[in-house]
Copies of this chain bind each other. A is one copy, B any other.
């Protein structure tokens, strides 16, 4: 069993992208490997200008808007998604972009933040990553 965390990020909701990156960075900080496979609505967050634009899973719940959550996160010293992503890359995290989603959604490589992407893959790439991981999550 490898010391590895492998996350499928299917959701593009802001709070779930936060969870994926916080867990990924936590794993890296504790000496594990970490990979995130961006697919479906998650992949859209890899488009230029889209990382910070996801809706909340529970928009309006508690009367919190996306902006208010961001302000509160700032005050609680939680890094921005942009910052969490660059930390993730610097710590050696691996980003896989789902090619099937690109085809379904009509997304071209040049529309994506290619500087973040380590691999263009399909489900086989995911299974290969996850097969020897000890923490596997679908977010």
Q: Is A118 an interface residue (CB 8 A)?
A: no
Cβ-based interface call for A57 (8 A) = yes
Does A127 contact B32, Cβ atoms closer than 8 Å? yes
Scan residues 10-61 of chain A and give those whose CB is less than 8 A from a CB of chain B: 10-12, 15-16, 19, 22-23, 25-27, 29-30, 32, 39-41, 44, 55, 57-58, 61
What is the number of residues of chain A that contact chain B, defined by CB distance less than 8 Å? 54
In Å, the complex CA distance between A127 and B16 comes to 17
Copies of this chain assembled into the complex: 3
Cβ of A104: which chain B residues have Cβ within 8 Å of it? 69, 72-73, 76, 78
Closest residue of B by beta carbon distance from A37: B23
Digitize A121-139: 1 where CB-to-B-CB distance is under 8 Å, 0 elsewhere. Answer: 0111011101111111111
9 A-B contacts, Cβ less than 8 Å apart? Answer: A10-B19, A15-B41, A22-B100, A23-B126, A26-B124, A26-B126, A41-B58, A41-B61, A75-B103
